Amino acid sequence: MRLQSLNYSFRHSSHFELIMFPLPANVICLPRTNQIDALLTMIRDKNTTRGDFIFYSDRVIRLLVEEGLNHLPVVEKTIVTPTGNEFKGVQFKGKICGVSIMRAGEAMEQGLRECCRSVRIGKILIQRDEETAQPKLPPDIKDRYVLLLDPMLATGGSAIKAIEVLLENDVPEDKILFLNLLAAPEGINAVTSKFSKLKIVTAFVDQALNEKKYIVPGLGDFGDRYFTSP
């Protein structure tokens, strides 16, 4: 499998240094820019207020959705402009829907709605043992490209179960894009080793999981920080 390289943070003594982490070809990371670095710094900071956490997380989510849409297939479409001239453009090849992994994934639904008008959205509740799932999906989901939404990719257990649910509902694997804000190498390896045809779009790949299976340096519990009042 073709690999791409990505700079990401690695703890060394009391600092973070940039090193190279090889990503599978079906994993896309948002390009490192001053804007992305500043937004991620804000949502990582434990002192960031809930209001600011929501605001800056929403900005990253919007960028993730837009990048995900870049990887959907298009077909040519010719239109006529107000000047009476033809223009050869494109349109998306198929219908789209979002599926959020509850509850943290629900925070990403509005960002998808802002980019895709009247988009259908389903939900999957993964139980703690990651063995059972309660899905509520659009009846025609097998005919759509699915943007699977969950802010954190840690061990990959919940994501794998959610993907299995989509496959059980006849969604082709190559029509699934998994969007998340932060990913751990362990989670990326777990998902891509089992599903090589889907795509993962992430804002940043962190160092690793700690002994408690939390992403480090991470940003804490995303769902608690986004939905729970201080």
Q: Spot the catalytic one: 83, 128, 129, 170.
A: 128
Q: Spot the catalytic one: 33, 52, 132, 140.
A: 132
| 221 carries an active-site annotation | yes
> Within 13 Å, how many C-alpha atoms sit on residue 26's CB side?
19
Q: Name residue 154's amino acid.
A: A
| 143 carries an active-site annotation | no
Q: Spot the catalytic one: 37, 45, 140, 221.
A: 221
Bridge partners of 180, per DSSP, are: 202
Length of the chain: 230
pLDDT interval class at 6 (50, 70, 90): very low
Domain that holds residue 90: 3-227
Q: Spot the catalytic one: 37, 45, 52, 224.
A: 224
Share above pLDDT 70 across residues of the chain, in percent, rounded to a whole number: 87
Render 123-161 in DSSP notation, one character per residue: EEEEPTTSS-EEEE--TTGGGEEEEEE-SEESSSHHHHH
State pLDDT tens for residues 140-197: 999 999 999 999 999 999 999 999 999 999 999 999 999 999 999 999 999 999 999 9
| 132 carries an active-site annotation | yes
Compute the average pLDDT of residues 27-43.
94
Both structure tokens of 157: 């257990």
pTM of the model: 0.86
Compute the average pLDDT of residues 32-44.
95
pLDDT interval class at 65 (50, 70, 90): very high
| 103 carries an active-site annotation | no
Query: What per-residue confidence (pLDDT) applies to 188?
Result: 95
Of 192, 141, 150, 196, residue with least CA distance to 171: 141
Q: What is the CATH number of the domain that holds 72?
A: 3.40.50.2020
